[in-house]
Structure 1
């Protein structure tokens, strides 16, 4: 391979890798989510932005927290006047919905049978934190944000590897983008050093 061809190839590879890194950075977009103040950290059940809906269902006894000990979604953002229907799955034993803090007065009975429900219409803005009293220590907690609340920016998809391995790469965290960029620069430097030190390949003719 001629020196010029080699340099063009190296430059193209580095540029392509950098472009991939830049594109991946765009894919890792920032989204706005209510500031739960750490209450939902490490809690199973997920989060849903349900603003614009008049009624939303939360599963009680959903899979999570090493058993059927989760609310799903555990984090919920709604508009004032939205009715939330807490529906029991029939799994994980007796559960209830009891407010720990916030404007909403949640206080259901202990229920167990599948299909039983407890409804509450959230009128006041703010964040209400609630728990299942028998399983609070096992992580069965949830929160409902209503209307205009404090928010934080989070990486789309939570910044973690997706459950579906076919989706790996989107989104990517910043440190992965940095690694890709440094690898691209390193490849370019290695190629350049090789060409400068050894010149053209001994297997290539020199008459051209």
Structure 2
């Protein structure tokens, strides 16, 4: 047996040992990803084989989501926080002049909504139907004199302009003192889709987009997969490095004659 044969056998054994080490590291990583992870329960408690328990109420309170006549968020919505698309639910489903836009009047010193704009088959609309104002702002509804009689009645009766009327009615004003979403109608023409909404301040229910944006969120790699990848990479790098060193700088193992 020659020196080259001996070295080749040694390297072969080394590579085999490295492969076994990589397999062991992979199995250990998989075990780590399963044994220590535990089970997350609905109450916010995580339990695992490690014996440690993390407890919590599992509830995020966005500030109540209710402002006077405001609306609390239901399924598929994020309560409070603001800054996102307001959650109107199906409020504007039958409103002909609602395009999905919420007109921002927060920088307007005299925010105003027209009563009796062209919509829903006649002068049966609020214009614009959805607006956003600051907390403390006074919003004015002004009658156009078309499609009468009209009035402005908040869904929870937070504000009410009174009996329906025409040119002699209004303008009607209301000062908002609590954040939230306020939905209102014209009583005589509600069935035609004469509806509106006012978003106030920053603490109001928003649509849950699942990623904080219009598209899907950034994919997350599970901890077990990361551990598995790191362990496998380290084992392979160690094996290749040792192989290179022994091939290039391996010592003299002597020469043996074949039997």
Q: TM-score range by the shorter chain?
A: 0.5 to 0.7
Partner of 1:128: 182
> How far does the alpha carbon of each residue in 1:3-23 deviate from its partner, in whole angstroms, 9 at most, with x for none?
xxxxxxxxxxxxxxxxxxxxx
Partners of 2:164 and 2:188 within 8 A in 1? no
Task: State the shift of 1:127 in Å.
Answer: 1.1
Give TM-score scaled by structure 2 length: 0.43
Distance 1:107 1:93, change over 3 A: closer
Larger fraction in helix = 1
Task: State the shift of 1:44 in Å.
Answer: 3.1
Task: State the shift of 1:114 in Å.
Answer: 7.2
Task: State the shift of 1:36 in Å.
Answer: 0.8
Distance 1:57 1:153, change over 3 A: farther
Partner of 2:69: none
- Give the total of aligned pairs: 123
Q: Does 1:118 align with 2:172?
A: yes
Partners of 1:44 and 1:74 within 8 A in 2? no
Q: Does 1:71 align with 2:123?
A: no
Partner of 1:50: 105
Alignment equivalent of 1:150, drawn from 186, 205, 225: 205
Task: State the shift of 1:42 in Å.
Answer: 3.8
Q: Distance in 2 between matches of 1:85 and 1:129?
A: 15
Task: State the shift of 1:107 in Å.
Answer: 3.5
Counterparts of 1:32-111 in structure 2, within 5 Å, are: 32-46=84-98, 47-101=102-156, 104-111=158-165
Larger fraction in strand = 1
Q: Does 1:137 align with 2:191?
A: yes
> Please, what is the CA RMSD of the aligned residues?
2.3
Q: Distance in 2 between matches of 1:108 and 1:36?
A: 25
| Secondary structure at the counterpart of residue 134 of structure 1 | helix
Q: Distance in 2 between matches of 1:63 and 1:34?
A: 24
Task: State the shift of 1:76 in Å.
Answer: 1.1
Task: State the shift of 1:40 in Å.
Answer: 1.3
Q: Distance in 1 between matches of 2:117 and 2:198?
A: 17
Runs of 4 or more above 4 Å deviation: none
Partners of 2:103 and 2:128 within 8 A in 1? yes
| Secondary structure at the counterpart of residue 33 of structure 1 | coil
Partners of 2:111 and 2:138 within 8 A in 1? yes
| Secondary structure at the counterpart of residue 55 of structure 1 | coil
Task: State the shift of 1:153 in Å.
Answer: 7.8
Q: Distance in 2 between matches of 1:153 and 1:61?
A: 33
